[in-house]
C-alpha cells in the first residue's frame, strides 16, 4: 500500500465535504469521483463504514486520506485510467467500482424529449435498467423529481443509507440519474428524497420501476425487461382483424388473484405461468375471444382489486416477475385469445411510498383538493395540465402495449375524468377556463392517448368505462370524438338487469327497459358488460338476482344470456358468471368451482360456450354489432306477453338470424315473421336439456312459409318455452 497522500487544503472544500457527509450536497458529482486539481488527478469518495480507503488502478493502490470534519469522506491522488475503491473497516475488507467515475447515461435527445414532455418511450430512460456502461455491468437509475434538493438510490447494497449514492441532477429535465456498478436483476431499491425545504421524505418506490416486492413490502425491484423470446409474431400481424368493429368480440373479465387458488399452499393465487396454462385453456375452451385482466399494475391494497395502483410500470409481484406475465400473454395469443388490460389513469392512492407529494411538492397531483382529491375513492387525481405527468401516463399506455404485447386497454372511470364536478357538491369543484364542468385537460389527454396508441400500435383497441352521455366517446379524434374503439354500455346493463331481476308477473309494466337500449345501440361502438361491479358489494351474483324458485332462477339467467348474445354489441362476462356462481364475488377466495361442477351450473357454462361459438361463427350476430343496418325489430311491443323478437343481419349473402325471448314462466305457441322462406335452424334454445332445461322447443328448427307477419313476407309457428331465448339461423336451400 502507498503512504497517505499529503494534505491538499483547498480540495475538496471543507463545506463540500461536510455536506457530503451529512447527505445534503446538491451536486455530489461535482466532488465525488475523479477530478483534475492543482495537485493532479484526485479522487474523493464517501464511505461512512470505512476506516481506510484506497483507489486501486492497474498500476498501484493509492491511499485516500480522511477529510477533517467530514466523517466518511476520503480524498487523494490517483493515477490515470479506471480504478476500484478498496476499503477496510470493522474487521473486514471490500472492493467495488466507484459510481462517481462514470459519465451520464441519458443523452441529449432524451434530455430534450424529457424536458418537452414528449418522450413516448419514457420507460426506456426512467426506471432501473440493468446494462453495461463504459464496459462495466450494473444498473442505471433515473427518476423525475424536479423540486428535490437531493435524490439518492437506497437498498441493501448500501444499507438503505441515502448519503451513500446521491444522484446526478440533469438540469432543466428535473431528472436525476446514477449508474451503480455491480447491481442487477432482483435487487430491491427505493429513492430517498430531500425536499426543497430540507425535509427528508419517506422512502419512495420508483414511479417507473418494472418490478416490486410482494406486498405488504413496498420497495421497487430491479427487473431486466430485455431478452424475452416472444413467439406470437403471427398473432401480432393479424390481430387487427380480431379487434375490429366487424369482428366477434366476447370478453372474459378476470381478477387474477381470485380466479383459482391453491388451497393446499396457503390459499395462494395462481402464478402468471400457472394462469398461462389453466386460465388460458379454460377461457379458450369456452369460446371467448379475449381475456380482460383487472389491473395488473402493482398496488399495495388487495381490496382495491388493482384500481389503486402505485407501480404503474410493474406487473404485480403477487403472481411472478415480468417475464412470467409475458408468458401469460404469449400463451393467450397461442390459444387465439387477445389480452385486454384494465388501465387506471384517473387517480392514484396517497400511500407514503407512492406518487403523493413525490419530491416534497404536489408533483403528480393537483395541489387544490377540489381538483386533486377523489372523494369517492379517497385517492388523488393526476394533474393532466402538466406536460410531464401526461407524458408519464401516455408512455405507460404504450409500455403495456409494446413491452407486454397487450391487445387493448380498457380505461377505468372515464366519467370521473371528463367532469370536474364528478361526485362533488356545488362549491367543491373548480370550473374550467370557460366556467364549465368539463375537464378540458382530461379530454385532451384521452384524445392524445387514443390518437397515439392507435398510431403506434396497429391492431390494438381501447375501451372506455364511461357511464354518462358524453358525446362521441368512440368516435375518432379527427371527427371530434374521444377516439376510443369501444365504450361500455352501462345504460343497457342497468336497464336490463333492473328488468330481469323483477318477478315475471311485473315485467309487463317495465317492458321497454329491454327495448330502450336499441334506440341508441349504434350511437357508439358498444360493449355489453356484465362486469365485476355487478356482482359485489351486496349486489349478489347474477344467479342471485334472478327471481322465483330454483328452476326459474336458472331459466331466467339462461334466457338473459341468450338475450345478451343476440343483442347488438360486443360481449363481456365477469368470471364465475359463466357458470352461474351462487354467491357474489369475493376477491379473497377463488371462484366456487364446486358449484361449477353441479349439473345446472355446468349447463349454464355449456350455454355460454355454445353462445360464444355461435356468435363467432355467424356474421349476422357480430359483423354489424355497431351498425343500425344489422338490427331490425320483429316484435318490440308484446308487453302483456313479455315476448321480444328481432332480426340480426350481416352483409348481403350472410344468413340472417332471428332471436325470440319469452320472459314469463308460461310456454307459448307463437307466430314469428321472417324475411326468408324455408328452414330456420334452432341454433340455440336456452331451455335445452343439455343446458339444464326441460327440452321444450321446436325439434331443431322451423319452416317459414308465405304468410306475412311482423312486417315480413314469411312466418313460422313456433313453441316458445317458458323463460327462454331461441336463436334461429336461416339455412339456404
Determine the Cα–Cα distance for residues 319 and 278; give it in Å rounded to an integer.
14
Report the alpha-carbon distance of residue 295 to residue 176 in Å, rounded: 29
CA distance 249 to 717: 32
Choose among 85, 264, 315, 105: nearest CA to 182: 85
Query: CA 567, CA 572: separation in Å to the nearest integer?
Result: 12
CA dihedral 543, 544, 545, 549 (to 10 degrees): 90
Closest CA to 100 of 217, 210, 14, 179: 179
Cα 636 to Cα 471, 519, 564, distances in angstroms: 27, 12, 16
The closest of 572, 661, 687, 571 to 621, measured between CA atoms, is 571
DSSP code string of 653-683:
TSPPEEEEEE-SSS-EEEEEEESS-EEEEEE
Residue from 268, 286, 383, 400 nearest 336 by CA: 286
Hunting for cell 368470471 — which residue is that?
575
User: How many Å apart are CA 445 and CA 440, to the nearest integer?
Assistant: 9
Compute the distance between CA of residue 240 and CA of residue 256 in angstroms, rounded to an integer: 26
Compute CA distances 657 → 566, 568, 671, 690, 732, whole Å. Answer: 9, 12, 16, 22, 12
Active-site annotation holder among 110, 441, 465, 625: 465
Beta-carbon-side half-sphere exposure of residue 596 (alpha carbons within 13 Å): 15
- CA-angle at 352, arms to 350 and 354, nearest 5°: 70
Q: In angstroms, how far is the first alpha carbon of the chain from the final one?
A: 99
| CA-CA-CA-CA dihedral for 255, 466, 620, 576, to nearest 10 | 20
Copy the grid coordinates of residue 396.
Answer: 405507460
Is residue 33 within 8 A of residue 179, CB to CB? The reply is no
- Known catalytic membership, residue 465: yes
SS3 428: coil
**List 111, 206, 407, 412, catalytic entry:** 412
Q: Can 278 be counted among the known catalytic residues? A: no
Please, which residues bridge with residue 718 across strands? Answer: 670
Strands (DSSP E) along 265-354, which ranges?
268-269, 290-293, 297-298, 311-315, 338-343
CA distances from 82 to 24, 93, 321, 374, 421 (A): 27, 20, 35, 53, 60
Gap between the Cα atoms of 343 and 450, Å rounded: 13
Residues annotated as catalytic are 412, 465
Amino acid at each position: 500500500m502507498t503512504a497517505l497522500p499529503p494534505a491538499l487544503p483547498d480540495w475538496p472544500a471543507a463545506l463540500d465535504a461536510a455536506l457530503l457527509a451529512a447527505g445534503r450536497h446538491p451536486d455530489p458529482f461535482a466532488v465525488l469521483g475523479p477530478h483534475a486539481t492543482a495537485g493532479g488527478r484526485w479522487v474523493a469518495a464517501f464511505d461512512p463504514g470505512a476506516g481506510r480507503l484506497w483507489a486501486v488502478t492497474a498500476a498501484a493502490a493509492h491511499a485516500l486520506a480522511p477529510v477533517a470534519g467530514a466523517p466518511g469522506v476520503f480524498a487523494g491522488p490517483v493515477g490515470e485510467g479506471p480504478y476500484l475503491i478498496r476499503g477496510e473497516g470493522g474487521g473486514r475488507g471490500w472492493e467495488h467500482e466507484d459510481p462517481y467515475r462514470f459519465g451520464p447515461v441519458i443523452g441529449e435527445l432524451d434530455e430534450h424529449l424529457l424536458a418537452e414532455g414528449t418522450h413516448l418511450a419514457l420507460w426506456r430512460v426512467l426506471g432501473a435498467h440493468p446494462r453495461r456502461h463504459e464496459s462495466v455491468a450494473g444498473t442505471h437509475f433515473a427518476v423525475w423529481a424536479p423540486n428535490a434538493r437531493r435524490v439518492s438510490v437506497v437498498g441493501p447494497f448500501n444499507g438503505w443509507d441515502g448519503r451513500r449514492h446521491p444522484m446526478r441532477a440533469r438540469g432543466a429535465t428535473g431528472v436525476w440519474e446514477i449508474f451503480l456498478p455491480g447491481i442487477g436483476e432482483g435487487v430491491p431499491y427505493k429513492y430517498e428524497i430531500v425536499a426543497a425545504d430540507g425535509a427528508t421524505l419517506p422512502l419512495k418506490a420508483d414511479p417507473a420501476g418494472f418490478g416490486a416486492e410482494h406486498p405488504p413490502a413496498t420497495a421497487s425491484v430491479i427487473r431486466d425487461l430485455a431478452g424475452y423470446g416472444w413467439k406470437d409474431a403471427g398473432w401480432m400481424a393479424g390481430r387487427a382483424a380480431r379487434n375490429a368493429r366487424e369482428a366477434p368480440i366476447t370478453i372474459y373479465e378476470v381478477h387474477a388473484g381470485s380466479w383459482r387458488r391453491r388451497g393446499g399452499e396457503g390459499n395462494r393465487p395462481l402464478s402468471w405461468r400457472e394462469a398461462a396454462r389453466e386460465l388460458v385453456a379454460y377461457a379458450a375452451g369456452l369460446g371467448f375471444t379475449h381475456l380482460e385482466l383487472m389491473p395488473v399494475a402493482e398496488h399495495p391494497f388487495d381490496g382495491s382489486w388493482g384500481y389503486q395502483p402505485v407501480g404503474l410500470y410493474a406487473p404485480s409481484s403477487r403472481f411472478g416477475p415480468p417475464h412470467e406475465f409475458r408468458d401469460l400473454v404469449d400463451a393467450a395469443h397461442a390459444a387465439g385469445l387477445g389480452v385486454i388490460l384494465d388501465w387506471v389513469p384517473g387517480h392514484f392512492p396517497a400511500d407514503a411510498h407512492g406518487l403523493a407529494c413525490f419530491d416534497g411538492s404536489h408533483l403528480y397531483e393537483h395541489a387544490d383538493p377540489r381538483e386533486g382529491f377523489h372523494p369517492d375513492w379517497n385517492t388523488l387525481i393526476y394533474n393532466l395540465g402538466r406536460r410531464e405527468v401526461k407524458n408519464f401516463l401516455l408512455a405507460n399506455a404504450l409500455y403495456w402495449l409494446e413491452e407486454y404485447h397487450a391487445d387493448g386497454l380498457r380505461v377505468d372511470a372515464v366519467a370521473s375524468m371528463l367532469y370536474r364536478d364528478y361526485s362533488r357538491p356545488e362549491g367543491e369543484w373548480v370550473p374550467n377556463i370557460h366556467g364549465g364542468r368539463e375537464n378540458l385537460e382530461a379530454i385532451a389527454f384521452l384524445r392524445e392517448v387514443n390518437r397515439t396508441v392507435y398510431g403506434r400500435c396497429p391492431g390494438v383497441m381501447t375501451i372506455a368505462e364511461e357511464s354518462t352521455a358524453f358525446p362521441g366517446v368512440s368516435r375518432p379524434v379527427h371527427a371530434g370524438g374521444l377516439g376510443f374503439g369501444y365504450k361500455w354500455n352501462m345504460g343497457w346493463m342497468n336497464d336490463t338487469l333492473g328488468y330481469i331481476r323483477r318477478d315475471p308477473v311485473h315485467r309487463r309494466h317495465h317492458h321497454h327497459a329491454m327495448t330502450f337500449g336499441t334506440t341508441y345501440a349504434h350511437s357508439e361502438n358498444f360493449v355489453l358488460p356484465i362486469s365485476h361491479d355487478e356482482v359485489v358489494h351486496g349486489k349478489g351474483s347474477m344467479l342471485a338476482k334472478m327471481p322465483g324458485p330454483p328452476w326459474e332462477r336458472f331459466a331466467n339467467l339462461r334466457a338473459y344470456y341468450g338475450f345478451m348474445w343476440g343483442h347488438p354489441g360486443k360481449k363481456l362476462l365477469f368470471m364465475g358468471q359463466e357458470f352461474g356462481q351462487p354467491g357474489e364475488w369475493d376477491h379473497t377466495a377463488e371462484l366456487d368451482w364446486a358449484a361449477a361442477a353441479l349439473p345446472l351450473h355446468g349447463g349454464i357454462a355449456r350455454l355460454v360456450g355454445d353462445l360464444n361459438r355461435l356468435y363467432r361463427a355467424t356474421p349476422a350476430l357480430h359483423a354489424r354489432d355497431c351498425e343500425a343496418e344489422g338490427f331490425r325489430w320483429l316484435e318490440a311491443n308484446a308487453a302483456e306477453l313479455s315476448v321480444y323478437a328481432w332480426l340480426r343481419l350481416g352483409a348481403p349473402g350472410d344468413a340472417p338470424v332471428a332471436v325470440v325471448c319469452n320472459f314469463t314462466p308460461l310456454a307459448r305457441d307463437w307466430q314469428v315473421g321472417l324475411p326468408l322462406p324455408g328452414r330456420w335452424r334452432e341454433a340455440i334454445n336456452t331451455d335445452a336439456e343439455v343446458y339444464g332445461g326441460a327440452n321444450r322447443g321446436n325439434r331443431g328448427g322451423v319452416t317459414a312459409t308465405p304468410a306475412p307477419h311482423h312486417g315480413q313476407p314469411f312466418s313460422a309457428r313456433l313453441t316458445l318455452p317458458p323463460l327462454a331465448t331461441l336463436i334461429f339461423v336461416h339455412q339456404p336451400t
